[in-house]
Structure 1
Amino acid sequence: MDPTHLFELVIGMFVAIIALHYAADRFGLPPSVALLAGGALLAFLPGLPTITVDPGLVLVIFLPPLLMDGAWSIALHPLRRHVIGIASLAIGAVFFTCAVVAAVTHLLFPSLPWAACAALGAIVSPPDAVSARAILQRVRLPRRLQILLEGESLLNDASGLVLFRFAVAAAVTGGFSAVDAAGSFLLLAAGGAFVGIVVGTVWVLFVRRLGDEYLIIAGTTLLCWASYLLGELIHVSGVIATVTAGLIMGWYQHTVLSASTRMRGTSFWTVIVFLMEAAVFILIGLSLRGVVERGGGFGVVAATMGLPILAILVALTLARFAWLFGSDLVIKFCNLLGFDRYTPLGSRGVTVIGWAGVRGVVTLALALSVPEGFPGRDLILVTSFAVIVGTVLVQGTTLGHVISWARLTEPEAERAHLSMSQAEAAMAQAQFATVQSLAYDKEGNLIHPQLLERYQRRAVAIIDYAARTDHYSPILHAHFDVVLEAVATGRRELIRLHRAGEIDDETLHELERDLDLEELSAISAKS
């Protein structure tokens, strides 16, 4: 394809992303569903060339920044507290689901070698980080379930990749060793974690010495790919390397980044992640045409593979539920024996976690990377795509209803010790104490009376608000409604002065920035 035409297709894809997101918001659909369906429709437009996706390139371009974004923003303390549950999902559930899918596939297609069945199981077993993020951003879950799903989505790709590589190698060589596979997984994970620690530490050291915020933002953006590529270069897990680096960078961002860098960097990164997440679903939809053509057309695929694929999809879903319910029973049994460190999720919580296992980009990339001539390659491709479409369209559209049905509540142990208003009160007290210590000169003379009075008044007001939030909340909302109206009036006057030529562009931008900050502060205070 001509490079210019390729660029035009990319721009067209981004235009389609905006249009499909808008349509999803208007009709109340999950954006992932609208994007996937839109991409599938675009794939069959007359005159549009067949889109071929390089699986290795897809993983390298999209996976590192999306993993980094998840690791950057995840809560580290709950992640450590629930590490056993996350490992159960990211490793145990993936391995168990792979085994179940392989067994069902071999039962349906006895002539297909076990290694090929295992390869299909490895491809469709890990729920996708991108799909999980796209869904979790639109629903509200108790903190424990949110951490379990986010942690699983960050780490399970490594399990799936290792299983897939061993299955392909077994199909080629005819041999497989579970001991070697387990040892290789541990080595890859440990090596990836080491690479991530090195990259994260280097980032912290350099950010503390770099003065230019644009260099910091650019360098931070590039490090997601650097950690992934470095891990893959030395043959360890690039996924684990990226996640580990992201966890370190997310932990230290509050102390090494300036306020300006953090605000600008967050805005830039949010747009990048939005476009990448959306592009993944569009690419999955665009790949439909090639997958169907390889399978011989819709008619042939539906007639020869329809029922077996449906059986595999059902087995895949039931395997996840079986593992989750089994794990919950183990926890309940341990509680009966006196080991009560972990609390069972309960049947409703397990149902929500099980239904959230949506597949996406990793499944697609692994399926497309199956070598030519591999046993059952067409079946693997079609089944993998059907699993992606089925989980996104069915589970993605109904997860919100399942969560509403479950009526989950936050356990007392998972709740934060302080509410936001209480934390704000503690912060205001600390600020007042600092101002109070600096408001006097060495001779004890008060040199900052207005500043001291302002911070004292602010601390008293915030402490009073924390004690009587329900009483003050309507008053506070009305207060900031007035602030927002005043900001809007000030902005209109500023624009009038600029249009009349009474102030220059520099004055406009400086005063407009002050109004923007005041507006954002008021909006944040209202929420």
Structure 2
Amino acid sequence: MHPVELFELVIAMCLAIIILHFAARRLFLPPAVALLAGGTALAFLPGLPAISLNPELVLVIFLPPLLMDGAWFTALGHFRRHLVGILSLAIGAVVFTTIVVAVVAHLLLPSLPWAACAALGAIVSPPDAVSARAVLQRVRLPRRVMTLLEGESLLNDATGLVLFRFAVAATVTGAFSASDALMSFGVLAVGGVVVGLAIGGLWVLLARRLGDDDLVIAISMLVCWSAYLAGEKLHVSGVIATVTAGLVTGWYQHVVLSARTRMRGTSFWSVMVFFFEAAVFILIGFSLRGVLDRVGGLEVVIEQMAWPVTVIVVAMTLARFAWVFASDLVIAAAHRLRLTRKPPLGPRASTVISWAGMRGVVTLAVALTLPEAMPGRDFMLVTAFAVILGTVLIQGMTLGFVIRLTGVGRVQEVGPKLTLSQAEAAIGQVQLQVVERLAYDEEGKLIHPQLLNTYQRRAAIRANYPGREEELAPNLKAHFDVVLAAIAAGRAELVRLHRAFEIDEETLHDLERDLDLEELSALSASS
């Protein structure tokens, strides 16, 4: 394909993304479903060239920014509090599902080596961060359930990739060591955390010293790829490195970024992530054509592979249910024995977590990296695509219904110590104290009465200002200096409340956005 034609195809894909998103809104469909179906339909348009995906390039381009976006907005306090549950899903559920799928695949296809069956299990076992985000953004769940699902989607790809690499190596060499695999996973995980901490720490230092919005936004954009590529180059987990860097930068961005940088950067990043996330589903749909051409067409898939693929998809889904419900029974027993304070999720929340296991770009990209000589490669490709289609189309479209049916969205959890209005009152009190202290000069004279009666004085000040700029400019600057000092005090109090776990992540972002807008308004008026 000529480079200009490739660029034209990219532009056409962007237009298709906008159209399909609009159609999804009008039809009340999850955008992921519309994009996946639209990409599949576009792949078979007459005259459209076949799209060949480089799986390693797909992972490098799309996975780091989408992991970074999820980690940036992760509530670190909730993440730490539910880390055991997150690891149970991200490691335990993935390993268990891999084993179940491997056993079922070997029973269905006895000629397929055990190592190849394990590779298939590793391909389809980890739920995808992109698919989970695309669906979870449209539903409202209790904080604990949402934290478990979001945390799982950030970490489980690392487990699946490690299992896949060992299974492929075992297939090729015929040798496998569980102890070596466990040790290797530990090195990959710890190494990934170290690399992520280093990249995140470097970002904090640069963000504090650069002093230029464009440069800070640019380095923020590069953090995800820097962490991922550095991790892979050092032969540790790029996924864990990216997630760790995202958690670090997300935690410190409240104190190192200016209001203008944060507002501009958030706007830029949200649009970029929107296109990246949507492009993933379009490309998955495009790839169906190549998969069908490779195996001999849709007729071959239906006649020879439909039954075993269906059984494997069902087994994979039931394995997740079994793990989640069994884990919750263990938590319930430990809670009754007072070994843990954490209560069990209960059958309703467990059902929602079990059903929210959508697969996506990682499953497809990993399947496409299978060696040509891999036994059962064509069957694995078809199974991977069927798993993506089945989970995104069926589970993605029905997750909202399952949530309403179980009533999980209505469950009341113990919230933070302060509500949004109480946090606003606390910030307002701190700001008022600063204004009262700075509104008077050294002799006790009130020099900023407009700050004590803002709305009544604002019109008079603006009407009196034209023609007297030189005379009033010093007073105006002093006025907004007090405003900015009050905003800074409010921001410090907001961060303190968050660090003390008295407000949650949503309240932090809501109030921080208000303070950012107030600061930008003051800076604009004073310039």
* Structure-2 residue corresponding to 1:431: 431
Aligned pair 1:22/2:29, yes or no?
no
Matches within 5 A, 1:125-274: 125-274=125-274
Are the structure 2 counterparts of residues 276 and 409 from structure 1 closer, same or farther at C-alpha, using a change threshold of 3 Å?
A: closer
Cα displacement string for residues 90-120 of structure 1 (whole angstroms, at most 9, x for unaligned residues): 0000000000000000000001000100000
Q: Runs of 5+ in structure 2 lacking a partner?
A: 458-482, 487-519
- Structure 2 CA distance for aligned equivalents of residues 180 and 514 of structure 1: 58
* Structure-1 residue corresponding to 2:422: 422
- Structure 2 CA distance for aligned equivalents of residues 82 and 414 of structure 1: 14
Check whether the contact 2:44–2:289 (CA below 8 A) recurs between aligned residues: yes
- 3-state DSSP class of the match of 1:208? helix
Structure 1 residue 446, shift from structure 2 partner: 2.4
Moved more, 330-339 or 315-324: 330-339
* Structure-2 residue corresponding to 1:321: 321
Cα displacement string for residues 288-341 of structure 1 (whole angstroms, at most 9, x for unaligned residues): 001111111101111100010000000000000000000000011112212232
Check whether the contact 1:39–1:286 (CA below 8 A) recurs between aligned residues: yes
Matches within 5 A, 1:249-398: 249-398=249-398
- 3-state DSSP class of the match of 1:287? helix
- Structure 2 CA distance for aligned equivalents of residues 455 and 147 of structure 1: 41
Amino acid at match of 1:13: M
Check whether the contact 2:142–2:413 (CA below 8 A) recurs between aligned residues: no
Amino acid at match of 1:229: L
- Structure 2 CA distance for aligned equivalents of residues 299 and 409 of structure 1: 42
Amino acid at match of 1:320: R
* Structure-2 residue corresponding to 1:484: none
Structure 1 residue 73, shift from structure 2 partner: 0.4
- Structure 2 CA distance for aligned equivalents of residues 148 and 414 of structure 1: 16
Moved more, 435-444 or 198-207: 435-444
- 3-state DSSP class of the match of 1:245? helix
- Structure 1 CA distance for aligned equivalents of residues 402 and 287 of structure 2: 30
- 3-state DSSP class of the match of 1:209? helix
Count of residues paired in the alignment:
464
Check whether the contact 1:99–1:121 (CA below 8 A) recurs between aligned residues: yes
Check whether the contact 1:17–1:35 (CA below 8 A) recurs between aligned residues: yes
- Structure 2 CA distance for aligned equivalents of residues 340 and 282 of structure 1: 44
- Structure 1 CA distance for aligned equivalents of residues 388 and 302 of structure 2: 16
* Structure-2 residue corresponding to 1:108: 108
- Structure 2 CA distance for aligned equivalents of residues 43 and 240 of structure 1: 33
Are the structure 2 counterparts of residues 443 and 456 from structure 1 closer, same or farther at C-alpha, using a change threshold of 3 Å?
A: farther
Check whether the contact 1:143–1:410 (CA below 8 A) recurs between aligned residues: no
- Structure 2 CA distance for aligned equivalents of residues 448 and 382 of structure 1: 71
Structure 1 residue 47, shift from structure 2 partner: 1.1
Amino acid at match of 2:20: L
* Structure-2 residue corresponding to 1:503: none
Check whether the contact 2:143–2:413 (CA below 8 A) recurs between aligned residues: no
- Structure 2 CA distance for aligned equivalents of residues 352 and 456 of structure 1: 52
Q: TM-score, normalised by structure 1?
A: 0.86
- 3-state DSSP class of the match of 1:310? helix
- Structure 2 CA distance for aligned equivalents of residues 116 and 349 of structure 1: 34
Structure 1 residue 413, shift from structure 2 partner: 5.5
Structure 1 residue 157, shift from structure 2 partner: 0.4
- Structure 1 CA distance for aligned equivalents of residues 393 and 155 of structure 2: 24
- Structure 2 CA distance for aligned equivalents of residues 426 and 410 of structure 1: 28
Percent identical pairs in the alignment equals 67
- Structure 2 CA distance for aligned equivalents of residues 320 and 167 of structure 1: 21
Check whether the contact 2:358–2:396 (CA below 8 A) recurs between aligned residues: yes
Moved more, 274-283 or 294-303: 294-303
Check whether the contact 2:140–2:409 (CA below 8 A) recurs between aligned residues: no
Alignment RMSD: 2.0
- Structure 2 CA distance for aligned equivalents of residues 413 and 6 of structure 1: 50
Structure 1 residue 243, shift from structure 2 partner: 0.4
Cα displacement string for residues 461-486 of structure 1 (whole angstroms, at most 9, x for unaligned residues): xxxxxxxxxxxxxxxxxxxxxxxxxx
Are the structure 2 counterparts of residues 41 and 14 from structure 1 closer, same or farther at C-alpha, using a change threshold of 3 Å?
A: same
Check whether the contact 1:33–1:397 (CA below 8 A) recurs between aligned residues: yes
Q: Runs of 5+ in structure 1 lacking a partner?
A: 460-512, 519-527
* Structure-2 residue corresponding to 1:33: 33
Structure 1 residue 409, shift from structure 2 partner: 5.4
- Structure 2 CA distance for aligned equivalents of residues 374 and 43 of structure 1: 26
- Structure 2 CA distance for aligned equivalents of residues 340 and 222 of structure 1: 41
Check whether the contact 1:431–1:455 (CA below 8 A) recurs between aligned residues: no
- 3-state DSSP class of the match of 2:92? helix
- Structure 1 CA distance for aligned equivalents of residues 69 and 387 of structure 2: 25
Structure 1 residue 412, shift from structure 2 partner: 6.1
Check whether the contact 2:450–2:456 (CA below 8 A) recurs between aligned residues: no
Structure 1 residue 442, shift from structure 2 partner: 2.3
- Structure 2 CA distance for aligned equivalents of residues 85 and 134 of structure 1: 22
Aligned pair 1:98/2:98, yes or no?
yes
Cα displacement string for residues 210-243 of structure 1 (whole angstroms, at most 9, x for unaligned residues): 1110111011101110110000000000000000
Structure 1 residue 455, shift from structure 2 partner: 10
Structure 1 residue 195, shift from structure 2 partner: 0.3
- Structure 1 CA distance for aligned equivalents of residues 414 and 312 of structure 2: 36
* Structure-2 residue corresponding to 1:50: 50
Cα displacement string for residues 56-115 of structure 1 (whole angstroms, at most 9, x for unaligned residues): 000000000000000000111000000000000000000000000000000000010001
Amino acid at match of 2:11: I
* Structure-2 residue corresponding to 1:82: 82
